[in-house]
Structure 1
């Protein structure tokens, strides 16, 4: 503020000296300076005093200078000081207002800072809530994911159960009858072909496999194979024995639940319980699902194991029939190698037909149990359930079955139910009396 006053005084001085310079110039030109009424009054009084009295020129000049200073300097300075006071007085309220504004702004700043702190605390609290909600969301998503997985599992189970409950037969009984007839025809042709294409000599005694041979074929059949007979009769006996070996191999394998013996026994007992406590439809569907997943889990292994069993039984027939191909080689290895090399394709065809029949019976029919059946050696001949493979003639009551030469097919129910059985295809058998007519001395 003092700076403004000093500037005002400085401007007054500058104005004064400009006026003085102008006045000197006018005086030199014979002009009188223009003064205000007060100044005119001063000069008029001085002039009157000058005219009235004679005054020393130096004194007169000194008084003029004092008057000039009073007029030109003191008055402007006084006027400037008054202006300065006025300015300062005008600025004081502005300064006060400015201080008030500063105080107000500081107050607002303090409130704003408090608001910022409050908002930061609120944001921190919300961040914590957000983290907690995010964790809750992740847990909820994990729960929903588990629920979705369980729902998918339950849905699949319901779909499987629905398919299981709605599953119907995919094959008819007539189709199964056609399959078993095709298998029987192939067995007959292969047996006849093998018997016709082999040569036999003197029988070699192989006691190491005799017990196994008797178990499979019976002692009477082994005695027939070992008997001293002509070539034509031997070929007939060998053909019957090979038919019996192939038929029994197919019947045993089709009846199995699994190629491993213990698993087969367990599944067989379990199915008997299911049959006794459930309806046929439920039992049949369980059978279809179980057999497809157990017995034929590895198709190549099943086929390989079955071929091995068939070849082994056929080799026993060759050995006891005196097949000359044995020579000096170990008879067992020689027999099996010969059969696989020469008759492997025909044996595989029989296995293929038997597997097709097996899967059709076990998996294609669920409304009832259809089973393969054959007649064991030594059983009595029953015309209602079997046929004589040698043709229609009167069979004595004392006659017995030597072996089965063609497989039969029947519908079966568990004994716990009603034991109902309906034969679809009668098995064909070879009677002991038939072979006795061919070889009376045995």
Structure 2
């Protein structure tokens, strides 16, 4: 049995039609909302009298009454929908709670991962710093080992050189050095003879004071006097070619003697004298093995450190002096001059290195005779074709070889001639 709504003037009952799902809130608002025409509860005395059965008490909008009315008038399907909606809301709430829990766990995991990532980054920075430090240590150790290996290599080379220096024997004999000197003298003689035969002299040439001064420094005063007399005395029968040949032989012999006494080729005159003085002191105060090895070391590492450069220096010196002699005597220089000097330069260097580097047990050196010396057959040879006789040395044309050996530092060295130098006497010039 259903209750019918009372009929109230100017009052529309709330709509009881079925509201779709999701509009229950609107329905409740409409049920609880008062009519705009009845802002207040109507006064009973002003209400018309109605049947008390029909109106047992004054009508008031009561939420409870409307709820009862709604519950009695709504269809059963609406109640079921409400229950389903409630169940769905509960399920959504449960799902929401579950998602909230998952979100909380996810955020916790994210924070944990973040903290772990920060820790890993910090560890990575520490590892990078440690790696950079280890790399620096490795590089320093590598440089240290490389330097140590280089120093060890230098020390090994020094020890090897010292061993060779101390144990190196003679690689050439005195007789071999004499043969080298003979070969050099032959080269000088042949070159001088060929130049004197091939050179053309000017018809008239008077030696000037400058020419005489230049020649005096190159060939000596005695030969210059003969050249001057031959140039100024018209009745002088001295052969001009012979004078030129003797002059060239003398200047080349002097060049060889000076070259073999040098230890420094490119230094100043003071430097050259210093090396010679040092060697003289070592030779006079040290055993033969020490002085000879010192000389050999200076030759190989300093004088002939660049053999081609040394050869070029010697060639230019020979070319300059021979050209000076030719021009001073009034002769023209020729291509034959430059073509013959390289062989002489090679012979001089070969002889010099043999005496300075290869001979250690004895001190070998070239020897020449000073002009003006009285002839002595025991210490010199007369290179003139005539028989040897007394006279004065005009010039030295062939180099000799002297041998000196110091057996005891407290005694002077033992000396001897392996080959006598050759000279021209004043009698050879028909003065």
TM-score (norm 1): 0.61
Judging changes above 3 Å, is the alpha-carbon distance between structure 1 residues 107 and 196 closer, same or farther for their aligned structure 2 residues? closer
CA displacement, residues 268-319 of structure 1 (integer Å, 9 cap, x when unaligned): 2232233334623432332332321278645324322322123223443xx2
- Give the equivalent residue in structure 2 for 1:129: 130
- Give the equivalent residue in structure 2 for 1:288: 299
- Give the equivalent residue in structure 1 for 2:174: 173
Report the RMSD for the aligned CA atoms in angstroms. 4.6
Judging changes above 3 Å, is the alpha-carbon distance between structure 1 residues 253 and 315 closer, same or farther for their aligned structure 2 residues? farther
3-state SS, counterpart of residue 305 of structure 2: helix
The count of aligned residue pairs is: 346
Partners of 1:107 and 1:234 lie apart in 2 by 122
Say which of 304, 308, 311 aligns to 2:320: 308
Q: Deviation at 1:375?
A: 0.5
- Give the equivalent residue in structure 2 for 1:156: 157
Are positions 1:274 and 2:282 aligned together? yes
Q: Give the unaligned 5+ runs of structure 1.
A: 1-98, 320-325, 327-334
- Give the equivalent residue in structure 2 for 1:73: none
CA displacement, residues 190-222 of structure 1 (integer Å, 9 cap, x when unaligned): 333444455686661311222232333343322
3-state SS, counterpart of residue 397 of structure 2: strand
Q: Deviation at 1:356?
A: 2.6
Are positions 1:248 and 2:254 aligned together? yes
Structure 1 stretch displaced more, 179-188 or 152-161? 152-161
Partners of 1:166 and 1:419 lie apart in 2 by 22
Residue pair 1:249, 1:310 contacting (<8 A) in 2 also: no
Residue pair 1:245, 1:314 contacting (<8 A) in 2 also: no
Are positions 1:383 and 2:377 aligned together? yes
Partners of 2:385 and 2:272 lie apart in 1 by 37
Residue pair 2:222, 2:371 contacting (<8 A) in 1 also: no
Q: Give the unaligned 5+ runs of structure 2.
A: 1-99
Q: Following superposition of structure 1 onto structure 2, how do residues 14-413 of structure 1 map, counting pairs within 5 Å?
A: 121-197=122-198, 204-225=206-227, 226-227=229-230, 228=233, 229=235, 231=237, 233-257=239-263, 258=265, 261-275=269-283, 276-277=285-286, 279-289=290-300, 290-293=302-305, 297-316=309-328, 319=329, 326=330, 335=331, 338-390=332-384, 395-396=389-390, 399-412=391-404
3-state SS, counterpart of residue 321 of structure 2: helix
Q: Deviation at 1:427?
A: 0.4
3-state SS, counterpart of residue 207 of structure 2: coil
More helix by share: 1
CA displacement, residues 341-381 of structure 1 (integer Å, 9 cap, x when unaligned): 34432344333322332233233334433211100101233
- Give the equivalent residue in structure 1 for 2:416: 422
Structure 1 stretch displaced more, 180-189 or 247-256? 247-256
3-state SS, counterpart of residue 315 of structure 2: helix
Q: Deviation at 1:247?
A: 2.0
Residue pair 1:247, 1:407 contacting (<8 A) in 2 also: yes
Partners of 2:239 and 2:145 lie apart in 1 by 79
TM-score (norm 2): 0.62
Residue pair 1:387, 1:428 contacting (<8 A) in 2 also: yes
